[in-house]
Structure 1
């Protein structure tokens, strides 16, 4: 029978390795995402982006594009959150953050959101009148 120390130690070692492997596959691996050819190239930055989900959390931003940035609170009027998406909804609003990122950082965000596979990046106008990018889910088939 394995020792109790081994039974405790293996999961403690395996868990961070599994998390690190998942992060690498999700964010850096050449096998899990290839930018679709039909997408327009990313123009030079800076780029303004409205985020309303996981990217509102500083540790996620740091993992995705290498820094937490200096986000500001932002509101998107005329939409509501529906799960992982935004849906037009007059009279509603979505609270989130406005990020300013470089072209390289936007490419990393596109990878995280699986642009062209899971999400599309669209222009929206925030409550303060700023025109920014936001990710919207692609219709499922």
Structure 2
């Protein structure tokens, strides 16, 4: 009987651990309950401006099931500060504009932990279109600072 090397064990265990984490984060009924105070998601197409992990096609595919056909977009009057946006009169944030349906927006809300970590607010992009953007909740920042 041949013993597995630590590297072979790691090569097998890593994808399994990643798959488990992704399931727990994105699909598990135990990791996120949409807070009751949030308004229901309206049917129809939604535009979402993203500037972080969701600018990467594989992440979008894992989060809402497709890479989509994003367009480059710019949000003026803000700057990136870690995981959030901060008002900055001369600032600008480059990102992508996604077009999603209600089910996909619900999956984005879950990924961003809407109502727990982030809120979803309307912004006007440089080209005049409006879109949702996720902004950190003050309570989420305070909780993470304490840890």
TM-score normalised over the length of structure 1: 0.95
* Alignment partner, residue 49 of structure 2: 50
C-alpha distance in structure 1 between counterparts of 2:58 and 2:15, whole Å: 16
Moved over 6 A (4+): none
C-alpha distance in structure 2 between counterparts of 1:7 and 1:122, whole Å: 47
Q: Is 1:133 paired with 2:132? A: yes
TM-score normalised over the length of structure 2: 0.91
* Alignment partner, residue 9 of structure 2: 10
Query: Equivalent residues in 2 for 1:8-47 (5 A)?
Result: 8-47=7-46
For each residue in 1:50-75, what CA deviation from the matched residue of structure 2 results, as whole angstroms up to 9, or x when unmatched?
Answer: 00000000000000000000000000
Query: Equivalent residues in 2 for 1:77-92 (5 A)?
Result: 77-92=76-91
C-alpha distance in structure 1 between counterparts of 2:78 and 2:7, whole Å: 48
User: What SS class does the counterpart of residue 68 from structure 2 fall into?
Assistant: coil
For each residue in 1:9-64, what CA deviation from the matched residue of structure 2 results, as whole angstroms up to 9, or x when unmatched?
Answer: 22111111000000001100100000000000000120011000000000000000
